[in-house]
C-alpha cells in the first residue's frame, strides 16, 4: 500500500470515527439539552430579574441628567446578556459533547479501539474533532437565535463587521474550550464523575466569566482568578462586538465619558492586571490556549497509548 493510499485510508477512518462520535452525542437528547441549560439559565435570569434591574438603574441615572435613551439602554442591556449567553454556550456545549469519551470508556468501546487496525492516536483526534464540530454546530444556532432576539426586540445595533466578529468569536471560543475540555475529560473514567464535573462546572462558569454579574463587581482577587479562565476572554470578545454599537450610540446621545464609564462598570473592557485588554489581545490569548492545550492533548494521548489506555 502506497503512502498516499495510507493517508487516504487514515483520513477516511478519522472522518468516519468523528461522525460516529457526533451521532452518539446528538442521539442522547439529554446531552444537547444540558449543554444549553446554563445559557438558558442566563437568559431566564435576565428576563425575570437582571435585565429590568440593569435598565432601570441606567435609565434612572440618565433621567437625573435630563436625558431619555430607553431604546439604547435596552440594546446595551440585551447585548450584555447575549454576550454572556454566547460565552457560556461555547463552554458548556463542548463539555457535554465530551460525554462520548467517558461513555466509550465505561462501555469498553475505548478498549476495542486499541485492538482495532487503526492508528492508536486516531480515536483521540476524532474525539477532539467531534467535540469541536458539535460545539460549532450548536453554538452557531444559538448565535442565530441571539441575532433574532436583538432584531425582534428592536435592540439591533450591530454592523456587518460586528456580525463577522461574532462568528469568528464563536469559532475561536469553541476551539479553545474543546482543546481544554478534551484534555481535562481525558482523565475522567466514570459517568458519575463526569456528571459531577458537568453540573459543578456548568454552574460556576457563568459566575467566573461574568455572565450573571459583571466581573468588575467582584473583589479584586476574584477578578484576577477570572483571568486564568479562557472563557473570560471569550466573553470580552463577544461584548466588544455585541455591545459596540450601543456604546457608540450612548457616547453620541449622552457623552463619551458616560459611555466609557458604563462600559467599564459592565466589564466590556476586560481588566487585565490593571490594564484594559482589547479584543485583539483577548483573541490572541484564546488562540494561545488552543495551541497549548492541543499540545497537552497530544502528550496525554501518547502517554495513554503507551500505557494501553484511551
For 90-144, write each residue's pLDDT tens digit. 998 999 899 889 988 888 877 777 777 777 778 888 999 999 999 999 899 889 9
Mean pLDDT of 24-39: 76
Can you read off the three cell numbers belonging to residue 218? 467582584
CB neighbour list of residue 97: distance below 8 Å, 6 or more residues apart = 25, 31, 35, 130, 131, 134, 135, 178
How many CA atoms lie within 13 Å of 299's alpha carbon, on the beta-carbon side?
Answer: 7
Q: Does pLDDT of 276 surpass 90? A: no
Q: Where are the alpha helices (DSSP H) in 209-255?
A: 220-226, 230-253
Q: Which of 225, 233, 241 lies closest to 289, judged by CA?
A: 233
Q: What is the pLDDT of residue 271?
A: 81
Mean pLDDT of 219-233: 89
Mind listing the pLDDT tens digit for each residue in 56-80? 778 777 777 777 777 888 888 889 9
Dihedral of CA atoms 85, 88, 93, 99 in degrees, nearest 10, equals -150
The SS3 of residue 276 is: strand
Q: Which pLDDT score is estimated for 289?
A: 94
Q: How many of the other CB atoms lie within 10 Å of CB of 254?
A: 18
Q: How many CA atoms lie within 13 A of 276 on its CB side?
A: 11
3-state SS assignment for residue 126: helix
Q: Cβ contacts of residue 216 below 8 Å, gap of 6+?
A: 223, 264, 265, 266, 267, 271
Supply the pLDDT for residue 48: 72
> On the CB side of 100, how many CA atoms lie within 13 Å of its CA?
28
Three cell numbers written together for 222 = 476574584
Please compute the mean of the pLDDT values over residues 81-93 and round it to a whole number: 90
Amino acid at each position: 500500500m502506497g503512502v498516499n493510499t495510507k493517508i487516504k485510508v487514515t483520513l477516511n477512518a478519522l472522518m468516519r470515527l468523528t461522525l460516529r462520535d457526533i451521532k452518539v452525542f446528538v442521539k442522547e437528547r439529554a446531552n444537547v439539552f444540558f449543554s444549553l441549560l446554563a445559557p438558558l439559565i442566563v437568559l431566564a435570569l435576565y428576563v425575570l430579574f437582571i435585565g429590568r434591574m440593569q435598565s432601570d438603574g441606567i435609565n434612572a441615572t440618565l433621567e437625573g441628567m435630563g436625558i431619555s435613551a430607553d431604546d439604547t439602554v435596552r440594546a446595551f442591556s440585551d447585548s450584555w446578556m447575549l454576550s454572556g449567553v454566547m460565552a457560556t454556550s461555547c463552554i458548556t456545549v463542548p463539555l457535554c459533547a465530551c460525554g462520548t469519551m467517558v461513555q466509550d470508556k465505561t462501555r469498553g468501546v475505548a478498549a476495542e479501539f486499541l485492538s482495532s487496525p487503526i492508528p492508536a492516536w486516531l480515536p483521540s483526534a476524532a474525539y477532539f474533532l467531534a467535540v469541536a464540530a458539535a460545539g460549532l454546530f450548536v453554538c452557531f444556532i444559538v448565535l442565530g437565535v441571539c441575532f433574532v432576539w436583538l432584531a425582534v426586540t428592536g435592540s439591533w445595533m450591530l454592523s456587518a463587521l460586528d456580525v463577522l466578529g461574532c462568528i469568528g468569536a464563536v469559532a475561536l471560543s469553541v476551539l479553545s474550550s474543546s482543546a481544554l475540555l478534551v484534555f481535562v475529560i481525558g482523565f475522567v473514567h466514570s459517568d458519575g464523575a463526569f456528571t459531577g464535573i458537568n453540573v459543578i462546572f456548568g454552574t460556576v462558569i457563568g459566575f467566573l466569566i461574568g455572565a450573571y454579574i459583571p466581573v468588575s463587581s467582584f473583589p479584586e482577587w476574584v477578578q484576577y482568578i477570572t483571568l486564568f479562565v479562557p472563557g473570560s476572554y471569550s466573553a470580552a470578545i463577544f461584548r466588544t462586538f455585541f455591545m459596540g454599537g450601543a456604546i457608540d450610540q450612548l457616547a453620541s446621545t449622552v457623552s463619551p465619558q458616560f459611555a466609557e464609564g458604563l462600559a467599564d462598570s459592565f466589564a466590556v473592557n476586560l481588566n487585565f492586571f490593571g490594564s484594559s485588554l482589547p479584543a485583539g489581545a483577548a483573541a490572541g490569548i484564546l488562540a494561545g490556549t488552543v495551541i497549548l492545550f492541543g499540545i497537552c492533548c497530544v502528550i496525554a494521548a501518547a502517554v495513554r497509548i503507551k500505557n494501553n489506555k484511551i
